[in-house]
Amino acid sequence: MTPDRILQLIFGYWATGIVGTAARHSLFTHIEAGVRTPGELATRAGISLRGTQALLDGLVGLDLVEVRDGAYHNGAEASAYLVDGRPTSLSAFAALKLGHVGSIAGLPDAVLAGGPATVPTVEVADNPHWENLVQAIAAQSVPVAAIAAEILRLPEAGDISILDVGGGSGVYSGVWLDLNPRARAVQLDWAPINAIARRLLAERGFGDRFECIDGDLHTADFGTGRFDIAVYSHIAHQEGPEDNMAIFARLRSALRPGGTLVVNDYVVDDDRGGPPFALTFAGEMLLKSRQGGTWRRSDYQEWLAKAGFDEVTFHPTPSPATVIIAR
């Protein structure tokens, strides 16, 4: 046994700093385009040579970039997930998370108090946090939306109506309206976020099949018997059990008989023994929300049954989240 892993954990913020900084200066993108040497990369990125070399050393140390005869190449993961402009690129997310490093120093106080010491980030409508987060998180939701579409046979589903609660940048609507040209979607979110989604969906030519309701998901009217599919993605973790249950019941009423609710979130095993990402995410919600957390499979089963859903299935995704299909 050695202390290596413990040291890696203690210095974990180095990784956040190096990956976030490389993403912010588009280093992976330049390397992917064939820029190979520190000097050329420094010029292309408009950063110092000394800084470029330090970043490249860090990226090689983190096993994201390889160096061969003085030429730098992206490893397979960096090439797939850190090059700008690809639908599954996490580079904006990496840059966003670098900005969150300072806030983790508040964890001891949050643990002491049992919640955020200041106003909970997730409960502020006009918090710039959301505008930055929704576009950065979209890359995680793209593959999930594709998997859910497959499970729901969405491309062949014909004239369907979709409700996306807390839809963010409109990522589900974008993927689904593309797969099914007869589908229509309604997104509920805060007004400034809906404005982003409307712009992005219009740019893709879906503006006439996409509507938004501006408001608070705790109180907004979802309607009755109006939708075939409802989505609740990356929201359950910011809410407490009572709110999740109440929202699931309102979503059941908003769905037509036989309609389907798609929940996507970081679900933990019933004995809270795994999986690792979902378990560690609980600290983030302690810092940022009054009652959020990472909820167990049995919590979802209980809440969804109480809300009137008879059949609940869990599906793994390529992201750390699990898709829950409730009918």
Q: Are 306 and 245 in contact (CB under 8 A)?
A: yes
What type of residue sits at position 259?
G
Alpha-carbon distance 251 to 246, whole Å? 9
**Omega into 143 within 30° of 0, i.e. cis?**
no
Name residues contacting ligand SAM, limited to 103-142 (CB under 6 A): 122, 130, 133-134, 137-138, 141
Alpha-carbon distance 234 to 51, whole Å? 36
Q: How far is the CB of 55 from ligand SAM (least distance, A)?
A: 29
- Name the residue nearer to ligand SAM (CB basis): 23 or 145: 145
Alpha-carbon distance 71 to 53, whole Å? 12
- Name the residue nearer to ligand SAM (CB basis): 35 or 134: 134
Query: Binding to ligand SAM by residue 230, rule CB under 6 A?
Result: no
Q: Are 209 and 161 in contact (CB under 8 A)?
A: no
- Name the residue nearer to ligand SAM (CB basis): 21 or 294: 294
Cβ-proximal residues to 285 (8 Å cutoff; 6+ apart), any chain: 237, 238, 292, 293, 294
Q: How far is the CB of 116 from ligand SAM (least distance, A)?
A: 15
Query: Binding to ligand SAM by residue 93, rule CB under 6 A?
Result: no
Number of C-beta neighbours around residue 100 at 10 A: 17
Q: Are 142 and 319 in contact (CB under 8 A)?
A: no
- Name the residue nearer to ligand SAM (CB basis): 137 or 230: 137
Binding mask 156-185 for ligand SAM (x = CB under 6 A): ----------xxx--x--------------
Q: Which listed residue (190, 222, 227, 266) binds ligand SAM by CB under 6 A?
A: 190
Name residues contacting ligand SAM, limited to 257-316 (CB under 6 A): none
Residues making contact with ligand SAM (CB under 6 A): 122, 130, 133-134, 137-138, 141, 166-168, 171, 189-190, 193, 216-218, 233-235
